Amino acid sequence: MPRIVVDVMPKPEILDPQGKAIVGALPRLGFTAFSSVRQGKRFELTVDGEVTEEILAQARDAAETLLSNPVIEDVVNVEVVEA
């Protein structure tokens, strides 16, 4: 069954405390190549049947109203992934 993937990231101007904690932990494991980490969220919305334009529009609407908070986050990607 097809899925709609929604990716949400903290806005660039917002300090991401979780990403900061992760970038602090990486060198302790020997991963020294990464100067910054930002942590986002990935949602997978499963659709029973075909993904129509109307269903994709619903997913975009849900991404803006519930899945993300526009004050602190951006929806950076909404795409259909066939199973």
Least distance from C-beta 53 to other proteins, angstroms? 25
Going by the DSSP 8-state scheme, the letter that residue 71 receives in this structure is T
The answer to whether 62 and 44 have CB atoms below 8 angstroms apart is no
- Under rule CB under 8 A, which residues in 13-42 are in contact with other proteins? 13-15, 17-18, 20-21
Compare residues 21 and 76 and give the one whose CB is closer to other proteins: 21
CA dihedral of residues 64, 69, 70, 76 (deg, nearest 10): -60
Residue 69 binds to other proteins (criterion: CB under 8 A):
yes
Closest CA to 7 of 44, 47, 46, 57: 44
Residue 4 binds to other proteins (criterion: CB under 8 A):
no
**Contact positions toward other proteins, by CB under 8 A?**
10, 13-15, 17-18, 20-21, 66-67, 69, 71-72
